[in-house]
Amino acid sequence: MAARHQDNLPFPIAAGYSALALNGAKGGGTKYLTLQFLNYARWTSQQHSTNLPGALRIIVKQNLVDSSGAIRPLGFFKMWRPSVTFFNETAHWGMKVPLSLFLYGGFKDAGFGPHLGLFLGVALSTAGEVAVTGWSERFGVHMGLRQIRSYKESFQISRDARGSALAGAYAGASGLWLRNFAWNFSFFEWKRYLHNSVDRTPEYAPQFFCSHLDWLRSLEKKDQANILTFEAATLGTYLTFFNMAGDNIKTKMQHDPARYPSFTGTAREIVSNHGVLGLTRGSMFKGIYLTLGATMAIGIQERLSDIMATLTAREDSPRLMGLAVARA
């Protein structure tokens, strides 16, 4: 079988963009249902600019212990509130891959090349993600951390703090764009590089990496794809400072829009009070959540899309063969 062209992003597009979007949404929804507690822990760590043990203490005090000191085990599930976060995750992961692939193809064909074309395509697709999910991300952070049950109350607080309905609905959108863009671009580049390293001769990758590539080639394609997605997500998460910084700024602006009305002002206050490393607070929780979540969401997306493409091909084969016989 001929190797995939090295400029292409390694996703199963045979089933079409709509299949990728549908299956990405399924993966995002599964990610929310299984890993939202890590997402909430990340928000808490960023809200209080505290480390992992500090965030855990706050979560236990707020969700698992009542005013009399009694343990409330079911309080664990409060971290899945509000339910709009489910929409946020399904829409976000449903858009990420197909929209990026579509825009990247257009920019690459226009002569921008594989890297600048990807940069531009991801920048534009990330803007689309923010436009569709920025308001739901704000509701999730604001209502989850402040434990507000009313969407109307949450929106009113943000609108009053920001001065307009649109600014209130999209508080923290600039940080959200920076976070998503930095991670998306890095992840796609790493995933393409890693798949190219497996598909091509050992000379494509450093010598020390070749034994790992040989092991990957011995696996079934679905297992191989899952591991490569995990590795790309790990590298894209932990080697991208702007991903961490943008996420930290976004969370603070969404949790307290009155205190943090602007992107630059929020960044300055974080650095002034906590140093540059303050921009990376919550990175432990975020890294675990995003690495596991991306592997799950994109793994489901790739596997289901590949199955759909295979089934479609099998259904088309008899029809195409019949046409060929008729023409003969």
213's tokens: 């590539």
The model's pTM is: 0.91
Task: Judge contact between 9 and 108, C-beta under 8 A.
Answer: no
Nearest-angstrom CA–CA distance, 205 and 236 = 18
Nearest-angstrom CA–CA distance, 92 and 128 = 10
Nearest-angstrom CA–CA distance, 167 and 253 = 11
Say if 220 falls within a structural domain.
Answer: yes
Q: Which helix (H) or strand (E) holds 142?
A: helix 113-146
Per-residue CA distances from 258 to 152, 174, 179, 261 (Å) = 17, 16, 21, 6
Say if 6 falls within a structural domain.
Answer: no
Task: Judge contact between 297 and 28, C-beta under 8 A.
Answer: yes
Say if 48 falls within a structural domain.
Answer: no
In this structure, what are the phi and psi dihedrals at residue 65, rounded to the nearest 5 degrees?
Answer: -130, 130
Say if 165 falls within a structural domain.
Answer: yes
Note the helical H segments in 239-282.
241-255, 263-274
Query: What's the pLDDT at 199?
Result: 87
By CB atoms closer than 10 A (0-12, 13-18, 19+), residue 98 is buried
Q: Dihedral of CA 156/160/162/164: which sign?
A: positive
Nearest-angstrom CA–CA distance, 144 and 85 = 9
Query: What's the pLDDT at 315?
Result: 62
Residue 92, strand partner residues: none
User: What's the total number of domains in the chain?
Assistant: 1
15's tokens: 């089933």
Query: What's the pLDDT at 205?
Result: 76
CATH of the domain at 196: 1.50.40
Query: What's the pLDDT at 184?
Result: 97
Name the stretches of the chain with pLDDT < 70.
Answer: 1-3, 201-204, 315-328
Nearest-angstrom CA–CA distance, 303 and 299 = 6
DSSP conformation letters of 179-217: HHHHHHHHHHHHHHHHHHHHHS-GGGS-GGGHHHHHHHH
- Maximum distance among all alpha carbons in the chain? 84
Say if 153 falls within a structural domain.
Answer: yes
Say if 178 falls within a structural domain.
Answer: yes
Query: What's the pLDDT at 244?
Result: 92
283's tokens: 């990175």
Question: Hey, how many other C-beta atoms are within 10 angstroms of the C-beta on 5?
Answer: 9
Say if 219 falls within a structural domain.
Answer: yes
Whether the ω angle into residue 82 lies within 30 degrees of 0, i.e. cis, is yes
289 lies in which domain range? 13-36+83-316
Query: What's the pLDDT at 318?
Result: 57
8-state DSSP, 2: P
Residue 79, amino acid: M
